[in-house]
Amino acid sequence: MYRPNRRVLVRSIDDISLEEVPTPQPGDRELLVRSTVIGVCGSDTHAALGHHPFIGLP
C-alpha cells in the first residue's frame, strides 16, 4: 500500500511548508522503518517563533 512520506520544510520564519516526498527504497542490508508517532522539540517551537535565545532560523 502506498503511503506518501511527509516532511515539514522550514526555509525561513515566513516560509514553512508541508511536502510529500517519495518513499526511499532500502538498499542491500538496509531496512525501512515506519514512524507511528513523532514529536517536535519545545526548543524548535521557540526557535520557529523567534523566541529562542541562541537558535535562529535561516
Give the model confidence (pLDDT) of 1-56 as tens digits.
Answer: 567 788 888 787 778 899 999 888 899 999 998 888 888 888 877 877 788 888 77
Task: Write down the pLDDT at residue 2.
Answer: 64
Cell numbers for 12: 525561513
Q: Does a structural domain hold residue 7?
A: yes
Q: Where are the alpha helices (DSSP H) in 1-58?
A: 42-48
Cell numbers for 54: 541562541
**Distance from first CA to last CA of the chain, Å, rounded?**
36
Structural domains of the chain, count = 1
Task: Write down the pLDDT at residue 30.
Answer: 96
Task: Write down the pLDDT at residue 26.
Answer: 92
Q: Does a structural domain hold residue 53?
A: yes
Q: Does a structural domain hold residue 27?
A: no
Q: Does a structural domain hold residue 56?
A: yes
Task: Write down the pLDDT at residue 58.
Answer: 64
Structural domain boundaries, residue 9: 1-22+35-58
pTM given for the model: 0.51
Cα–Cα distance, 17 to 37 (Å, whole number) = 20
